[in-house]
Amino acid sequence: MTFAKQIFIGLVGVTMMTGMLSSTVAAFEPNKPVEFIIMAGKGGGADKMARLLQAIVEKEKLSSRPLFPTNKSGGSGAEALIAAKNANDPDHTIMVTLNSFFTTPLRQPGLRIDNTEFAPIGRMAEDSFLLWVNKDSGITTFEQYLQVAKADGSKWVMGGTGRAGEDNIITNYLNNEFGLTMKYIPYQGGGEVAKQVAGNQLNSSVNNPSEALGFYESGDLVPLVAFTDERLPLFPDVPTLKELGSDFSYFMQRAVVGAPGMSEDALAYYTDLFTKVYASADWQDYKTKQSLMGEFMSGDQLRAYWDQQNSRHTVILKASGDIK
Amino acid sequence: MRKAEIVTAIILGILSLCIMWKSGEAPAWDPTVARFDNIGLIDGEGPGSGFWPFWLSFIMFICCIWIGINWYRRTSPPSQSDAPFLDSSGKHMLLFVGGGLIGFLLVIYVLGFYGAIPLFLIYYMRFLGNHTWKLTGMISVGMPVFCFFFFDIAMRIVLPKGYLEPLFIPLYEIFL
Amino acid sequence: MDVLISLLDGIMVALEPINLGLAILGVVVGLFVGAMPGLGSVNGVAILLPFTFVIQSFTGGATSPMIFLAAIYYGAMYGGAISSITLGIPGASTAVSTTFDGRPMALAGKAHIALVAAALASFIGGTISNIMFTGFAPLLASVALSFGDPEVFALMLMAFATFIGLGGDDIPKTIFSICIGLVLATVGFDIVSGEPRLIFFDITGFTHGIRFLVLAIGVYGIGEMLWTINTNRHGSSMTQVDVSARSIIEAIKEFRHAKRGTLIGSFLGFFVGILPAAGATPGALMAYGVAKLTSKDQASFGKGNINGIAAPEAANNSASTGAMLPMMTLGIPGSPTTAVLLAGMVIWGLQPGPLLFTNQPDFVWPLIGSFYISNVIAVLVNLAFIPVFLWMLRMPFTILAPMIFVLSLVGTFAAYLDMFDVSLMVLVGFAAFFLRILDYPVAPAVLAIVLGPIAEPKLRQSLLFSDGDFTIFLTRPIAGPITVVALILIFLPLIKFIKNKMTTKKET
């Protein structure tokens, strides 16, 4: 290949690239601040993530208009879902979601929310869950845990975030699968739960790694088992439940969605925006440190993921008696 | 004042009863649960979800009856007073200031904060306060401009704009 | 000794030009954000969090951004008193108790004394808690860990006990006010059962509950304002105040009468502040209650007693520093503001937890050093701006009133970004105005809506734990004594009152 030819091909490539870029950019670009709804209160895991995403967008100057975060924590996500559904301008309304994206429409059918109507912008990560106990309990393996918890019956107390939420689902699973009768007490946030276990007020918890990391490093909390498919890089010595013979894993989606009725062009713009955010060093760094899993996912792939999660949660909640 | 005292007590009493009724509601996903199932102490769990609001509203209701008794026996100051609840200038104030406030609120829904703030300030300062047009004008222009730069630009709190939204697109272009 | 050396090193880092500049900027921003009704420290730190990434990309470490946010936090705590005193609207829940005596003082033309007392008490409260923080952080963290649900509930009971002194003379109306505050606090979502509660007419706006500022701004910004306009027909300006430098110096001298309140507030505030989930509001309220209960001149509280300003102001500043402790050493926030600060620390790549002090001394000590520095900056900046705030009070009432109305509506929206809350706030304002004419005390309702959402879940979580057995509050070593003292405090005035009534009846 001659040098001239290389330049020629390069030029064609560049013009095609710029052509493609400008066509996507010209199609849609926000002309006012973008409302960034957070499905949780200030300071929680979702809020932390949303504010980091906002900061990355501003720092890397990825968007011509800023994202302004709005916390809508009401009704376990109900308020956020309704706000997004009734958004005046769906092209300028995006939302960061958790698993209440699946459970709340099931638990509160009166809301008439169909979560598949939301625009699939991008799944930024999946958060994992581990089973934690206090080091003073002397428990070091899952088998020991099962023995002690079984012996204590309903005196064994598990804490978690909210009722019929992620932590409750895992607790119910453990109770059913291993014939336990652990008591579950719902709290406002995961940080509080971890602290209660560290202070010996509760016996165990199923916190996300990020919530319990401080106490893990100090040795106060001991992880026994991970509810993931593969071992977590941060906890290489902690077995997964699958290794121990039970086919169960559970994750929390951390995804950005667009308001129902968002135009195709806007969806393409935001998907592109969050693809760039995902690739940024800051996000990758955060993902590693917080032990987040999961690759970027968008469009039809993300929709298929939602369908799968919807049917899974219907089964889980029916089994636990949290829905009819 | 005496009449207002008992009327208010009755309204608050009815409100308490309404909240008691509402507290006993069954959860949305399971309408088969009977009303008032949740207001007691559930065995081994402590209070149900309706316990706290139901019994507190019950105390509110008792308080209303107590207020009624005080009214009958004329022991509380308002139940002894013959002064009108609102005298004529009080009613005048409520009509113009209170009405202006409600008008302000309604206009926000249509024209957003930046349309409503100048209108309200002009109404209040010029027509209720009899200030000069110059002063009124300065404040009713200055206040929204301050709010725009403080909230929309500096704090990134986007106030609602109502139908005036298109006018702000160029401003975002310049300042954001 | 090691602690002192680390602290000195920390202060030196905090005094580096960039950090000092950020601290000054943060304090000024915080002061103005806090002085704005509706906006408090939580808005300040949440909104400027992204900006700290820009700082981080210049300075590298997490220290400078954190110093900036902590300075905003400090400034806002000072600023909260300003709107409480001058406008009579508590800008944040922590400043509600400051209005009880701050507002009467301002109306009596002593706003300058009240503002100076608030600033100086805040400074002393902040300094005392800084010293305790520096000296005993690890020890106090273990105290905080030993506080479970029953203990927190017992503490809330204690805060309720101090309510009794706040109401008017009309007992049924005072109880009604407390109860309606507690009932309104249950609107929204019940964490324990996971179900929506009291969603009147199925309006979505109720799903997030009735928020504190909706009630506070409604009651104070709209209700009190209408009431003032109605009763105060002849005065053209709100109060007469003297805005000379001499009056400020006089006011500083006047502060010597506020020693007792300041000391009570500083210590009590700190201990309540370090307990996770409690935060600065109960601390300030309890400091006010204790200052009143132990005073020889109880009757003057609520009518403009300088100790009634010093105690809650010292306490809320002290508690804010205290609340940093569980955030840094346990990784759990004691207040919404520390929740955002915690988010910041995690995003900057730090891991809050028991090991933070050992693993990250380069972060911890400059930050603690900056607490001392920011505190000094905050009191100086605050004193310097007092004439500006006083000048606002001299505006004719027909200018000040509409501006307060505008700020009330804008402030409510800015705090929660929801027009429903703004409408509800106006509605609450009208209701409060009518109730005010009929002598219903409204302050208990405003405080009940802050304490209710902490107390109810803690009660139920405790009872879930004990299988519904109420003796859990009496048998636990820490909860027991607190519960007993709280119950005595609650029933003492009632018994006294009934006794008094009986004797007066016999006489007549």
3-state secondary structure at position A38: strand
Which residue of A31, A32, A324 is in closest CB contact with B29? A324
> Residues C238-262: pLDDT tens digits?
555 666 777 888 888 889 999 999 9
Nearest CA in chain A to B171: A32
Which residue of C179, C196, C464 is in closest CB contact with B59? C179
At residue A240, does pLDDT exceed 90? Answer: yes
Least confident interval from A11-25, C99-113, C282-296: A11-25
Question: End-to-end distance of chain A based on CA atoms, in angstroms?
Answer: 69
Structure tokens at C395: 């505006």
Higher-pLDDT residue of C314, C137 = C314
C51 within 8 A of C92, measured Cβ to Cβ: no
B106 and B171 assigned to the same domain:
yes
Structure tokens at C281: 């509001």
The domain ranges of chain C are: 2-507
B9-38 burial: b if 16+ Cβ within 10 Å, else e: beebbebbeebbebbbbbbbbeeeeeebeb
3-state secondary structure at position C82: helix
Q: Which of residues B27, B53, B80 is at a domain's end?
A: B80
Q: Is it true that A31-127+251-320 and A130-226 share their CATH fold?
A: yes
Kindly state the DSSP code that residue C206 receives in the 8-state scheme.
G
Which residues sit opposite A131 in a β-bridge? Answer: A225
Nearest CA in chain C to B43: C468
Average pLDDT over residues B78-94: 86
Structure tokens at B165: 């939204």
For testing the chain B interface, which of C171, C177, C406 should be mutated: the one with the most B CBs within 10 Å? C406
Distance CA C401, CA A155 (A): 59
> Residues A121-145: pLDDT tens digits?
999 999 999 999 999 999 999 999 9
Domain residues for B135? 88-175
Which residues in chain C have their CB less than 8 angstroms from residue B67's CB? Answer: 170, 172-173, 176
Least confident interval from A252-256, C257-261, C313-317, C338-342: C338-342
Which residues in chain A have their CB less than 8 angstroms from residue C354's CB? Answer: 214-215, 217-218, 220
Distance CA A254, CA A268 (A): 19
Q: Rounded to a whole number, what is the distance in Å from the CA of B57 to chain A's nearest CA?
A: 22
At residue A16, does pLDDT exceed 60? Answer: no
Q: Which fold has domain A130-226?
A: D-Maltodextrin-Binding Protein; domain 2 (3.40.190)
Backbone φ and ψ for A185, nearest 5 degrees, come out as -115, 120
For testing the chain C interface, which of A37, A56, A59 should be mutated: the one with the most C CBs within 10 Å? A59
Q: Do A33 and B176 touch (CB under 8 A)?
A: yes
Name the pairing type of β-strands A67-71 and A34-38. parallel
3-state secondary structure at position B8: helix
Nearest CA in chain B to A89: B165
Which residue of C53, C146, C202 is in closest CB contact with A59? C53
Distance CA A246, CA C158 (A): 48
C122 within 8 A of C41, measured Cβ to Cβ: no
Question: What pLDDT, on a 0 to 100 scale, did the predictor assign at position C166?
Answer: 64
Q: Who contacts A39 (Cβ-Cβ below 8 Å, separation ≥6)?
A: A46, A72, A73, A77, A80, A81, A95, A96, A97, A98, A100, A101
Residue B125 exposed, middle or buried by CB count within 10 Å (0-12, 13-18, 19+): buried
Interface of A with C in 140-169 (CB under 8 A): 154, 157, 162-165, 168
The domain ranges of chain A are: 31-127+251-320, 130-226
Structure tokens at C454: 């902490």
Q: Rounded to a whole number, what is the distance in Å from the CA of A294 to chain C's nearest CA?
A: 19
Q: Which of residues B80, B107, B128 is at a domain's end?
A: B80
Kindly state the DSSP code that residue A184 receives in the 8-state scheme.
E
Q: Do B158 and A35 touch (CB under 8 A)?
A: yes
Phi-psi region of C49 (alpha: psi -120 to 50; beta: other; left: phi over 0): alpha
Helices (H), C348-441: 356-359, 361-393, 397-416, 419-437
Question: End-to-end distance of chain C based on CA atoms, in angstroms?
Answer: 68
Question: What pLDDT, on a 0 to 100 scale, did the predictor assign at position A192?
Answer: 83
Q: Who contacts C328 (Cβ-Cβ below 8 Å, separation ≥6)?
A: C137, C345, C352, C356, C357, C364
For residue A133, the surrounding DSSP H or E stretch is: strand A130-134
B65 and B108 assigned to the same domain:
no
Distance CA C458, CA C277 (A): 10
Average pLDDT over residues A53-65: 87
ipTM for this prediction: 0.94
DSSP E strands, chain B? 41-42, 46-47
Q: Which of residues B33, B53, B80 is at a domain's end?
A: B80
Least confident interval from B37-41, B145-149, C53-57, C302-306: C53-57
Distance CA C283, CA C448 (A): 14
Cβ contacts below 8 Å, chain B against chain C, sum to 173
> Residues A36-53: pLDDT tens digits?
999 887 767 788 888 889
Backbone φ and ψ for C457, nearest 5 degrees, come out as -60, -35
Average pLDDT over residues A62-70: 88
A157 within 8 A of C465, measured Cβ to Cβ: yes
Q: Rounded to a whole number, what is the distance in Å from the CA of A303 to chain C's nearest CA?
A: 27
Q: Do B158 and A107 touch (CB under 8 A)?
A: no
Angle between helices C397-416 and B99-121 (to 10 degrees): 100
Which residues in chain B have their CB less than 8 angstroms from residue A35's CB? Answer: 158
Q: Rounded to a whole number, what is the distance in Å from the CA of C41 to chain A's nearest CA?
A: 13
Q: Rounded to a whole number, what is the distance in Å from the CA of A70 to chain C's nearest CA?
A: 7
Average pLDDT over residues B20-41: 82
- Of C127, C185, C140, C192, give the one whose Cα is nearest residue C160: C185
Radius of gyration of chain B (CA): 25
B7 and B54 assigned to the same domain:
yes
At residue B41, does pLDDT exceed 50? Answer: yes
Which residues sit opposite A95 in a β-bridge? Answer: A37, A257
Average pLDDT over residues C302-321: 91
Question: What pLDDT, on a 0 to 100 scale, did the predictor assign at position B144?
Answer: 94
- Of C447, C489, C450, C435, give the one whose Cα is nearest residue C170: C435
Q: Rounded to a whole number, what is the distance in Å from the CA of A319 to chain B's nearest CA?
A: 14
pTM score, whole prediction: 0.87
- Number of continuous H segments (helices) and E segments (strands) in chain A: 11, 10
- Of C204, C335, C74, give the one whose Cα is nearest residue A41: C335
Distance CA B176, CA B156 (A): 9
A39 within 8 A of A100, measured Cβ to Cβ: yes
Higher-pLDDT residue of B1, A275 = A275
Distance CA B86, CA B92 (A): 9
- Please give the order of strands across the beta sheet that includes A221-226: A183-187, A157-161, A204-205, A130-134, A221-226
Nearest CA in chain A to B28: A108
For testing the chain A interface, which of B156, B157, B168, B169 should be mutated: the one with the most A CBs within 10 Å? B156
C410 within 8 A of B159, measured Cβ to Cβ: yes
Question: Given a contact as 3+ CB pairs under 8 Å, which chains touch B?
Answer: A, C
Per the structure, how many domains does chain B have? 2
User: Which superfamily is assigned to A31-127+251-320 in CATH?
Assistant: Bordetella uptake gene, domain 1 (3.40.190.150)
Any idea of the CA torsion for C324, C329, C333, C338, to the nearest 10 degrees? 30
At residue B162, does pLDDT exceed 50? Answer: yes
Q: Rounded to a whole number, what is the distance in Å from the CA of A185 to chain C's nearest CA?
A: 6
Task: Give me the sign of the Cα torsion angle C275, C281, C31, C117.
Answer: negative
Cβ contacts below 8 Å, chain A against chain B, sum to 35
Kindly state the DSSP code that residue B26 receives in the 8-state scheme.
P
Question: What pLDDT, on a 0 to 100 scale, did the predictor assign at position A12?
Answer: 46
Question: What pLDDT, on a 0 to 100 scale, did the predictor assign at position C508?
Answer: 55
- Of B56, B18, B48, give the one whose Cα is nearest residue C160: B56
Per-residue pLDDT band at C159 (split at 50, 70, 90): confident
For testing the chain B interface, which of A29, A31, A32, A182 should be mutated: the one with the most B CBs within 10 Å? A32
Question: What pLDDT, on a 0 to 100 scale, did the predictor assign at position A13?
Answer: 46
- Of A203, A161, A157, give the one whose Cα is nearest residue A182: A157
Q: Do B52 and C456 touch (CB under 8 A)?
A: yes
At residue C506, does pLDDT exceed 80? Answer: no
Backbone φ and ψ for A133, nearest 5 degrees, come out as -135, 165
Q: Give how far Cα C319 sits from Cα of A271, C67, C124, C125, C275, Å.
A: 44, 18, 12, 8, 9
C423 within 8 A of C430, measured Cβ to Cβ: no
A73 within 8 A of A39, measured Cβ to Cβ: yes
Question: What pLDDT, on a 0 to 100 scale, did the predictor assign at position A23?
Answer: 43
Per-residue pLDDT band at C410 (split at 50, 70, 90): very high
For residue C355, the surrounding DSSP H or E stretch is: none
Q: Do C406 and B22 touch (CB under 8 A)?
A: no
> Residues C34-56: pLDDT tens digits?
888 777 788 788 878 878 877 88
Kindly state the DSSP code that residue A75 receives in the 8-state scheme.
G
B71 and B106 assigned to the same domain:
no
Distance CA B150, CA C407 (A): 12
Q: Give how far Cα C86 sits from Cα of A250, B146, C89, C115, C220, Å.
A: 54, 20, 8, 8, 12
Q: Largest Cα–Cα distance in chain A? A: 80
Which residue of C183, C409, C422 is in closest CB contact with B56? C183
Q: Do A31 and B172 touch (CB under 8 A)?
A: yes
B75 and B105 assigned to the same domain:
no
At residue C236, does pLDDT exceed 70? Answer: no
Higher-pLDDT residue of A255, C453 = A255
Place of tokens 């207001």: B39
B93 and B67 assigned to the same domain:
no
Which residue of A164, A196, A218 is in closest CB contact with C353? A218
> Residues C71-88: pLDDT tens digits?
999 898 888 888 888 888
Q: Give how far Cα C446 sits from Cα of C44, C84, C211, Å.
A: 23, 14, 10
Least confident interval from A250-264, A298-312, C131-145, C176-190: C131-145
Residue A34 exposed, middle or buried by CB count within 10 Å (0-12, 13-18, 19+): buried
- Number of continuous H segments (helices) and E segments (strands) in chain C: 22, 2
